[in-house]
Amino acid sequence: MSDDPGGWQRYNIDRAIAYSIEAIKASLLINGAAAIALMAFLGAVAAPNSRISIDVHEIKYALITFGTGVAVCPVTFLFAYLAQLFFAGYVASDSYLWPAETFRWAALLGFVVSISLFCVGVFLAAGAITTTV
């Protein structure tokens, strides 16, 4: 890296943006994969001689939770895009700063909500499964 502090700052900002994009993609992936895996599991335990019983209502809520976690991700991407758009306009005018900060925090909240929904979905799915002896 050169001795230019502005170049180093630009590099760090670019890396932060890249990591945030990957984090949102990861939250999309884990929620989507959890929903698909749960549906595949339901198909596997649907056999008549299965020793696993499932509370369908709780599984339904787990699938809804995972699906909502997936749906939050594009909205999070939108908020991140709008934040970057306003940050880019900030160079030209100070009036762009407050919307940029608002959308940045909204994107962060969307990411946290998506990860939280994954955790709740796992808890609901685990609670819906019981084994019989």
Per the CB < 8 A criterion, the answer to whether 82 and 99 are in contact is yes
pLDDT one-digit tens code per residue, 59-102: 999 999 999 999 999 999 999 999 888 888 776 666 668 888 89
Angle at 100 between CA 95 and CA 105, to 5 degrees: 140
Q: Name the residue range of residue 96's domain.
A: 5-131
pLDDT of residue 94: 64
* pTM for this predicted structure: 0.81
* Residue 53 φ then ψ, to 5°: -110, 150
pLDDT of residue 27: 94
pLDDT one-digit tens code per residue, 93-114: 666 688 888 999 999 999 999 9
Angle at 23 between CA 18 and CA 27, to 5 degrees: 150
Give how many domains the chain has, as a whole number.
1
| Residue range 8-36: mean pLDDT, rounded | 90
